[in-house]
């Protein structure tokens, strides 16, 4: 069976004690901003591009810290011809601190993101962690369950990163 590898980046984007999540209205999924690396892009360049496209926020390289965690998942999917394949996604997670709010006029969502009803929100991560812990298994969408699991894993890794590196508690 064909295995397709994809490299992605995502950000724990912190502002005033809250983090940015992209909520897909159609599936109910909560995702951290980020996406796939384009050919020739560095991880940091991809992170800057994806955050701008999904939130309208322009970040500087100096505000990017990490990666503090890397996650690998494999799942079955289909290719363009409808054949079963294995997708392996390797995602690197970065910490990005900012002061700006979302700028909807600068957002450039892909047709797929628009179809999903993707929209950025500032959330209290502890409340989102509680919600996802209690609701993850009730989501009808495997997409929403997968991203809930990812968020919970990344949030736990972020907490460990803070303790290990004496990071000031940016998230309350």
Domain spans, the chain: 3-165
**CA neighbor of 13 nearest in space, from 37, 47, 49, 53:** 47
Measured between alpha carbons, how far is 18 from 122 in angstroms, rounded to an integer? 6
Tokens of 83: 């054949």
Measured between alpha carbons, how far is 132 from 70 in angstroms, rounded to an integer? 20
**CA neighbor of 31 nearest in space, from 8, 49, 48:** 8
pLDDT above 50 for 67: yes
Q: What is the pTM of this model?
A: 0.87
- Which pLDDT value is given to residue 137? 92
- Which pLDDT value is given to residue 172? 46
Residue 170 pLDDT level (bands cut at 50, 70, 90):
low
- Which pLDDT value is given to residue 169? 56
The CATH architecture assigned to 3-165 reads Alpha-Beta Complex (3.90)
H-helix segments, the chain: 43-55, 111-116, 125-135, 142-165
């Amino acid at each position: 069976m064909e295995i397709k590898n994809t490299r992605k980046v995502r950000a724990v984007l912190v502002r005033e004690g809250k983090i940015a999540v992209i909520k897909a209205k159609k599936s109910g999924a909560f995702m951290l901003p980020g996406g796939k690396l384009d050919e020739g892009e560095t991880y940091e360049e991809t992170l800057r591009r994806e955050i701008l496209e999904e939130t309208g926020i322009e970040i500087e390289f100096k505000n990017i810290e990490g990666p503090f965690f890397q996650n690998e998942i494999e799942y079955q999917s289909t290719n363009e011809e409808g054949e079963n394949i294995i997708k392996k996604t390797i995602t690197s997670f970065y910490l990005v601190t900012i002061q700006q709010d979302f700028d909807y006029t600068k957002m450039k969502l892909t047709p797929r993101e628009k179809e999903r009803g993707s929209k950025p929100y500032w959330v209290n991560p502890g409340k989102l962690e509680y919600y996802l812990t209690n609701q993850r298994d009730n989501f009808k969408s495997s997409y929403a369950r997968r991203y809930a699991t990812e968020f919970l894993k990344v949030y736990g890794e972020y907490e460990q990163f803070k303790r290990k590196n004496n990071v000031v508690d940016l998230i309350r």
